[in-house]
Amino acid sequence: MPRDTRHGQEIFWQEIGAGPRPALAIHCTLGASQIWTPVLEPLTELTTLAFDQPGHGQSAPWEAEGAAPGAFQQLVTQIAASFITRPVDLIGHSFGASVALRIAVAAPEAVRSLTLIEPVLFAAAEGTEEWAEMRPHQAHFEAEIAAGHLEAAARGFMGAWGAGVPWEALPEHQRARFCQQMPMVGNISAANFSDPGQIVRAGGIEAIDAPVMIIRGDASPPIVARVCEALAARCQDVGTAVIPGGGHMLPVTHARQVRELIAMNLERA
């Protein structure tokens, strides 16, 4: 599998499928490129490039200490954009959806279609009741990391945003890795509120002229529904879908339904 240095980071990536349409898939926080294989491999019209973000999967670690707020989002956006050489079908999950949206706002001409799965760009829902309820949880999460209570932070994060597996049921090595990654997750999650890339700036989302599909699960944290509604209201050409019984990790738990919705968006483009 290929790897090289991009924007100062050693990055691993893989290609899924061998179709004529180029696609780029961006995974969630604490995920890896491999989650896309069951979702995208059956879409024979695509050749999808999926990369492991720094500090994830088989890519090299990323040092969060001393990094500016939102630095990780900017870095992953730059890495993702470096793989785009012609208009692509752009697919993102969770934090990966924020990155995909940041690319689409900055360079709408680079996007043939845009699929956002469980986007966590909380800044889009600022002012809602759900945003107000979420903000103290984020402050507590950041305080836990700052105090070095990494297991408590990881336990809470996975409880809210994981695939529903109890913390105690996770393998010990996986729990240890999640704890070690919490400072990085803190940098990522802060950007969901502060929007350092100004993704939600006036006129930005409105300038995307590619078909957009926004997907969420009906069992996800309530803030996700508000984010999806806020984004959909600003898109020119948008479809929305809610997967019954789905939580935040839809590409893992509901791969078939996600694939079918991506295919619908491909047809629109």
Is residue 202 domain-shared with residue 236, that is, in the same domain? Answer: yes
Same domain, 85 and 24: yes
pLDDT for the residue 1: 64
Write down the pLDDT at residue 245: 96
57 and 181 share a domain? no
Mean pLDDT of all residues in 134-162: 95
pLDDT tens readout for residues 99-121: 999 999 999 999 999 999 999 99
State whether 8 and 106 are in the same domain: yes
| Same domain flag for 68 and 170 | no
- According to DSSP, the β-strands at 21-26 and 46-51 are parallel
- In eight-state DSSP terms, residue 168 is G
Last residue of a domain, one of 165, 192, 219: 192
| 8 A C-beta contact, residue 55 and residue 32 | no
- Kindly tell me the burial class for residue 233, based on how many C-beta atoms sit within 10 Å of its own C-beta (0-12, 13-18, 19 or more): exposed
Judge whether 235 and 83 are in contact, CB under 8 Å. Answer: no
| Domain limits for position 65 | 3-125+194-268
Task: Give the number of other Cβ atoms within 10 Å of residue 51's Cβ.
Answer: 27
Contacts of 242 (CB under 8 A, 6+ apart): 215, 216, 217, 218
Other Cβ atoms closer than 10 A to 153: 25
Same domain, 140 and 160: yes
Q: Report the chain's mean pLDDT, rounded to a whole number.
A: 96
Dihedral angle of Cα 201, 224, 74, 209, to the nearest 10 degrees: -50
- Looking at the fold, whether 181 and 259 belong to one and the same domain comes out as no
pLDDT one-digit tens code per residue, 30-74: 999 999 999 999 999 999 999 999 999 999 999 999 999 889 999
Q: Give the pLDDT mean for 111-137.
A: 97
Contact 196, 69 (CB under 8 A): yes
One domain for residues 169 and 40 = no
Task: Examine the pLDDT at 229 and tell me if it is beyond 80.
Answer: yes
Q: Do 109 and 61 fall within a single domain?
A: yes
- The answer, yes or no, to whether residue 251 has pLDDT greater than 70, is yes
Task: Count CA atoms within 13 Å of residue 18 on its CB side.
Answer: 0
- Pair (160, 230) in one structural domain: no
- What integer pLDDT is reported at residue 252 of this predicted model? 97
| pLDDT category of residue 178 using cuts at 50, 70 and 90 | very high
Question: Can you give the C-alpha Rg of the chain in angstroms?
Answer: 17
Q: What is the pLDDT of residue 69?
A: 84
Taking only the tens place, the pLDDT of each residue in 7-36 is 999 999 999 999 999 999 999 999 999 999
Specify the number of domains making up the chain: 2
| Dihedral-angle region of residue 208 (phi above 0 means left; psi in -120 to 50 means alpha; beta otherwise) | beta
* pLDDT value, residue 43: 98
Contact between 225 and 2 under an 8 Å Cβ cutoff? The reply is no
Separation between Cα atoms, residue 135 and residue 62, nearest integer Å: 26
Residues 151 and 208 in one domain: no
* Spatial separation of the C-alpha atoms in residues 61 and 9, rounded to whole Å: 8
- Asked whether residue 8 falls in the same domain as residue 67, the answer is yes
- CATH (domain of 58): 3.40.50.1820
